[in-house]
Structure 1
């Protein structure tokens, strides 16, 4: 894998592409304690500034953790396409009803009593550090390239990874 560090607009685009295509992430909060709290979350949006948005219940353990300490880690993995993203950043909780309505989708009815549920909050993660691993070819072709490299002794071009500076 080659290293390709990205910054500014390229970094924001890579975060958006990976976070929105992978969708589900493991959100870790309460990072100062072990074990830290981890919960699966569905990405609602990555905005133009590179902030990653989620919907959450105001009474959830991760909301309570964010209120105490805003440091958060997101871990995205798409094993089918060999795409991975980790984001370390600062979380803020919003109760802005307009923002919540923008993020809300019909699938969220499984978790909330409609868009006007008073317990809905929006969580915004502002990335401080991020790193990605992205194969160009998907899992099957990458495995074939690895096998070819093992046979020939040549290092296969499996894709790229790098730091993302937003």
Structure 2
């Protein structure tokens, strides 16, 4: 028998596991939200309740995390009509072994010094909550239902599903 937490993790990773690029949102010191694209570093072996990112120690995301640990990470796969919003708490982690484990050739483009590059910050996001939208109907069905709703004045039926995943 599976626990709800294991089922939740499996659902979340089913939705985001193949999406490498995400929009990582922090709160700027002036209170504004600031989003930027970041690559999720998790490998297949790292599909648990944490997301991992490499960032510049001197960049604004790391500086903003020191003031506010709450972050949002948004994933989108428009080709599959899958969208996920992940909330969590971010921490800069000094763990060279984990950096080596997550290291990839593409990370070298940003951090030429490798896993021991002094500018390389490893950021862990402990996932607390995720909300997802997963549309299974093809584009033609979606367009037909939206067109029908516009003509008849009746709301379109729910297309696909949405739900929540709670980790904590």
TM-score range relative to shorter protein? 0.7 to 0.9
CA distance in 2, matches of 1:32, 1:121: 19
Task: Work out the CA distance in 2 between the residues paired with 1:27 and 1:117.
Answer: 22
Partner of 2:132: 132
Aligned to 2:101: 102
- The equivalent residue for 1:42 is 39
4+ aligned runs moved over 2 Å, structure 1 = 17-20, 31-35, 46-49, 140-158
Which runs of structure 2 are paired with 1:5-44 in the superposition (5 Å)? 7-30=4-27, 33-44=30-41
How far is 1:90 from its partner?
0.3
Match of residue 159 from structure 1: 160
Write the distance in 2 (CA, Å) between the matches of 1:93 and 1:143: 42
- CA 1:130 to 1:32, structure 2 compared with 1: closer, same or farther past 3 Å? farther
CA contact (8 A) 2:21 2:39 kept: yes
Q: Which moved more, 1:113-122 or 1:94-103?
A: 113-122
Q: Equivalents in 2 of 1:130, 1:24: separation in Å?
A: 17
Give the RMSD, CA atoms, in angstroms: 2.5
Task: Say whether residues 1:121 and 2:121 are aligned partners.
Answer: yes
- In the other structure, the counterpart of 1:72 is 71
Structure 2 unaligned spans of 5+: none
CA deviations on 1:72-111 (whole Å, 9 max, x unpaired) are: 1111122222110001110011121110011111011211
Q: Distance in 2 between matches of 1:83 and 1:141?
A: 17
Q: CA deviation at 1:59?
A: 1.3
- TM-score (norm: length of structure 1): 0.81
Q: Of the two structures, which has the highest relative contact order with CA contacts closer than 8 Å and spacing of 6 or more?
A: 1
TM-score (norm 2): 0.80
Q: Secondary structure at the match of 2:115?
A: coil
